[in-house]
Amino acid sequence: MPNNKDQVHQEEVLETILKNVGTKKEDSIKILQEMQKIFGHIPIESLKYISQKSNEISASELYSVATFYNQFRLKPLGKNLIKICHGTACHVRGAANISKTVEEILGLVSSDTNSNKSEQSDTTKDQLFTLTSVACIGCCSIAPAAMVNEKIYGKLTSKDAIKILEDIKMNRNYNIE
Amino acid sequence: MIKCKIFEGSCGKAAGSEILIKEFEKFTQAENIEKPGCIGMCHYEALVEVYYKGQYTLFRNVTEKDVLKIITGLTTDRGIESSIEIKIVATGKDSFTENYKNISDSYLKQQTRIALRNIGIIDPMSIDSYKAKGVGVSGYKVITDLLKNKTEGNEIINILDRSGLRGRGGAGFKTSLKWHLAKENKATQKYVIINGDEGDPGAFMDRSLLEGDPHSVLEGLMIAAYTIGANFGYAYIRAEYPLAIKNFKKAIDDAKKAKLLGENILGSNFSFDIKIKEGAGAFVCGEETALIASIEGERGMPKLRPPYPPEKGLFNYPTVINNVETLAQIPWIIANIEQFTTLGTPQSRGTKVFALAGNITRGGLVEIPMGTTIRKVIYDIGGGPETGYKVKGVQLGGPSGGCLPDYLLDTPITYEDIQKTGAIIGSGGMIVFDERTCMVDLAKYFLDFTEKESCGKCTFCRIGTLRMKEILEKITRGYGVLDDITKLESLAKSIKETSLCGLGQSAPNPVLTTLEYFMDEYLEHIEQKVCRGKRCKALIEYFISPDRCTACNLCSKSCPANAIIGKTKEKGSYKVQTDKCIKCGVCKDVCKFNAVDILSKRDEKSFAEIYGKN
């Protein structure tokens, strides 16, 4: 439960978002996207607050939208978001092996679609990494690909994946030659 | 003075284009470094064109270390060293970014680029570049002329009708008919929407267009709006494409500044404005009615049709939704209608962009006239399979499409011919695969995708795809029985017949086509528990060959599951503990002596006989 200070801060942020985006039904997705940009995920408490401030959006409808789209997380994000691409080209070029490697090293099972809304954790205990898979980031020619935070890595091997994780842990920037 | 162009799309960035820019800035000023959008020759990323003393040279696969060598090679007597020389794609007196014909490389030479006409040539962040350097048609000239001449909407529709243009997003619906239906509607408010929700895994042409030539898409949309009588539009772009969103936003801002958006454009009666709506990660939102629901702030669940969007769409008003590639072609088609009608076949006119990827030598964007054979795209343009492998087949049309075997590669690419094979052209994703792919695993992969992306509305799509996926899981784990194949076929039929939208209606296609063309692999999995592609983890084992292993310990050190035991320098001692092995492939990746084999049950027997079981 957020304490009072957090709650006030959260409400201030939500107020700003609603002022900038709007409170109409059609603004629902944009509101959630802005919330996620700032908080890293969608705090459940915020849905009630928004429905109080909007004539057109109910908390349950907002919840149904938040759980429908893959982009939205209901659980807090780790410091580094790893998205391993599982598009067709990446699959054919060995994305399954990359995922397996990263899962094993981080001790996680990667989340995708709705499983990040379930009990299973996709974030390491030290909150350093969140591991997800994404359907396709459109970089098929450099398959297998992955995104770490907003950076795209291509032509990955399991070996590269290990190095990227190590470098993040050691705070280095990784470039694949 | 050195000038250079570094092609920047998402892949270019991933290949390190930003680092290259920093490197080149050490040798020349920032204003001498241009950044046109990606040219679609993905296998050559990062691509750089360097100009020095009247000569243009195009370099491929440029890395940070190459930059100094390139500069030294061009500007000193030492000349270009061999490691750089092999990276020269072309050299000449004319810039390759002025005209594709300046590149003699067969990849681009064999293409007919209409949708892709400008990418890599214009600067996507500059409206002036679009206006001045538009290939085959100057940027914004078409809409300007239409407004100046007060051209009737019906005249534009007639031109499109003659062109025979069909939607390039996948449905292949006649564009002129769609616009006509919306135009005829007497409603006072109408909308146009760009469908930038390119959700097919394996398709990236829309991304490249939005990143590399956003104005052509915007102009196409404006022409649509003017034709049907709409004053407001939306660009629905998926959230997974941040660079496309950024570049399209810039295009809108620049068009506004140039007074090409807003009230009474260029002094005419036509007013038009546009807003970007980001998708939130839902493949089903590529479907028109689901996309509309998403813009309206709802869950992206398709609606029953009729009424179709041109009759009742966004907020219940007539709406025309067009794909990015379709819109990009519109200005060129109107300016060059005679030429367009000479391309393609009567039922499938014009050109189509394909995103060629997978086990292929030269992957990237390929735009060819309809009627070209699959074989030509894969071999002549794409350079064929990777060295040492054979093409096993090709997947067309994404998760809605089908897997075709090598003996169908001479099929001409037209809507009608491809449909006869059981696949579809779809958005244009073309994934080539070789013998390292398991067809059952590939079918399972697609079902995995569509099952997750199903919106849940229709029972058979929601539960049927899950059941099909479970059956395929069973088969890939070695527990399949022959009756599973009958079940798959029966489920497929029911799902296709009872689903409301294209997602469900086409979800079974990958399974149906693999059953038709690759049945022997299903039978091998079921009857012999063998995965010939060596993909299904339950049916393979990693094995260290005692002959080739040098006992260097690298694999054991690297194994994330600590599954490899052995004594350094003691040959023959290294073994993979199969109960711990997660089959991630790291050992095979790191081994410098090619000593790690992947065995399927078939091989296992013979190895076990020679070496004794691990």
> Testing the interface with B: which of A88, A102, A159, A176 to mutate, by most B Cβ within 10 A?
A88
pLDDT in tens, B538-569: 999 999 999 999 999 999 999 989 999 999 98
Residue whose pair of structure tokens reads 């534009």 in the numeric block: B156
The whole-number pLDDT of residue A176 equals: 43
Which of A130-134, B140-144, B527-531 is least confident? A130-134
A77, A111 contact by CB (below 8 A): no
Q: Mean of the pLDDT values across residues B518-532?
A: 95
A153 chain-B contacts, CB cut-off 8 A: 14
Q: What sign does the dihedral B89-B91-B92-B98 (CA atoms) show? A: positive
- Contact partners, residue B154, CB within 8 Å, separation at least 6: B183
A157–chain B Cβ distance below 8 A for any pair: yes
DSSP state of B37: P
Contacts of B156 (CB under 8 A, 6+ apart): B146, B179, B223, B226, B227, B334
What's the mean pLDDT when you consider all of chain B? 93
pLDDT at B12: 78
| B354, B584, B596, best to mutate vs chain A, most A CBs in 10 Å | B584
Please check the confidence at residue B505 and state whether its pLDDT lies above 60. yes
pLDDT on residue A110: 66
What is the structure's pLDDT at B606? 55
Question: What's the pLDDT band for A169 if we cut at 50, 70, 90?
Answer: confident
Pairing mode, strands B232-237 and B273-278: parallel
- pLDDT interval class at A10 (50, 70, 90): confident
Q: What is the mean pLDDT of residues B572-581?
A: 91
With cut-offs at 50, 70 and 90, classify the pLDDT of residue B356: very high
Phi and psi dihedrals of B104, rounded to 5? -80, -5
How much is the pLDDT for B106?
A: 84
List of chain A residues whose C-beta atoms are within 8 Å of the C-beta of residue B560 = 101, 104-105, 162
pLDDT of residue A2 exceeding 90: no
Does residue A114 register a pLDDT over 50? no
User: Does pLDDT of B95 surpass 50?
Assistant: yes
Highest mean pLDDT among A87-91, A143-147, A158-162, B266-270: B266-270
Q: Encode burial over B281-313: b for 16+ CB neighbours within 10 A, e otherwise.
A: bbbbbbbbbbbbbbbbbbbbbbbeeeebbbbbb
Distance of CA A45 to the CA centre of its chain: 19
- Tell me the backbone φ, ψ of residue B160, rounded to 5 degrees: -65, -35
Cβ atoms of A88 and B572 closer than 8 Å: no
What does the pLDDT average to over B338-354?
Answer: 96
Q: pLDDT: is B101 or A173 the higher one? A: B101
Instruction: Give the nearest partner residue to A138 out of B16, B207, B558, using CB atoms.
Output: B207
- Per-residue pLDDT, B614: 45
Residue A173: the pLDDT is: 53
Q: Give residue-wise pLDDT tens across range B224-244.
A: 999 999 999 999 999 888 899
What mean pLDDT is predicted for residues B371-400?
Answer: 95
Given a cut of 70, whether residue A119 has pLDDT beyond it is: no
Percent residues over pLDDT 70 in chain B: 98
Q: What are the chain A neighbours of B241 within 8 Å (beta carbons)? A: 137-138
pLDDT at A118 over 70: no
pLDDT in tens, B242-253: 899 999 999 999
According to the model, what pLDDT value does residue B308 have? 95
Q: How far is CA B90 from the centre of its chain?
A: 26
In this prediction, residue A113 carries a pLDDT of 41
| Secondary structure of residue B600 in the 3-state scheme | strand
Q: d(Cα B475, Cα B382) in Å, to the nearest integer?
A: 33
Q: Calculate how close chain A gets to B53, using CA atoms only, in Å.
A: 30
pLDDT, tens only, B154-210: 999 999 999 999 999 998 999 999 999 999 999 999 999 999 999 888 889 999 999
**pLDDT tops 70 at residue A45:** yes
Q: How far is CA B100 from CA B9, B50, B343, in A?
A: 18, 16, 19
d(CA B48, CA B223): 35
Taking residues B483-512, what's their average pLDDT? 96
Distance between CA atoms of residues A164 and A109, nearest Å: 18
Prediction ipTM score: 0.87
**SS3 call for B368:** strand
Write the DSSP symbol of residue A126: T
Query: What is the pTM for the complete model shown?
Result: 0.91
CB atoms within 10 A of CB B418: 23
- The pLDDT of A63-76, averaged and rounded, is 92
Nearest residue to B554 via CA among B540, B546, B539, B564: B564
Q: Residue A117 carries which DSSP code?
A: G
Tally Cβ neighbours within 10 Å of residue B514.
29
pLDDT in tens, B462-474: 999 999 999 999 9
pLDDT of residue B131 exceeding 90, the answer is yes
The radius of gyration of chain B's CA atoms, rounded to the nearest angstrom, is 27
Model confidence pLDDT, tens digit, residues B407-417: 999 999 999 99
Which residues make beta-bridge pairs with B373? B412
Given a cut of 80, whether residue A177 has pLDDT beyond it is no
Average pLDDT over residues B426-440: 94
Q: Is the pLDDT of residue B447 over 50?
A: yes
The Cα B314–Cα B321 span in angstroms is 10
Best interface-test mutation with A: which of B586, B592, B596 has the largest number of A CBs within 10 A? B586
Q: Is it the case that residue B610 has pLDDT exceeding 80?
A: no
Instruction: Write down the mean pLDDT value for chain A.
Output: 85
Report the residue from B14, B242, B442 with minimal CB separation from A142.
Answer: B14
pLDDT score at A3: 61
Token pair of A93, please?
């070029």
Residue with tokens 């709006």: B225
Residue B390 has pLDDT above 50, yes or no: yes
d(CA A33, CA A41): 9
User: Which of residues B398 and B272 earns the better pLDDT score?
Assistant: B272
How far apart CA B464 and CA B460 sit, in angstroms, is 5
The answer to whether the CB atoms of B14 and A153 lie below 8 A apart is yes
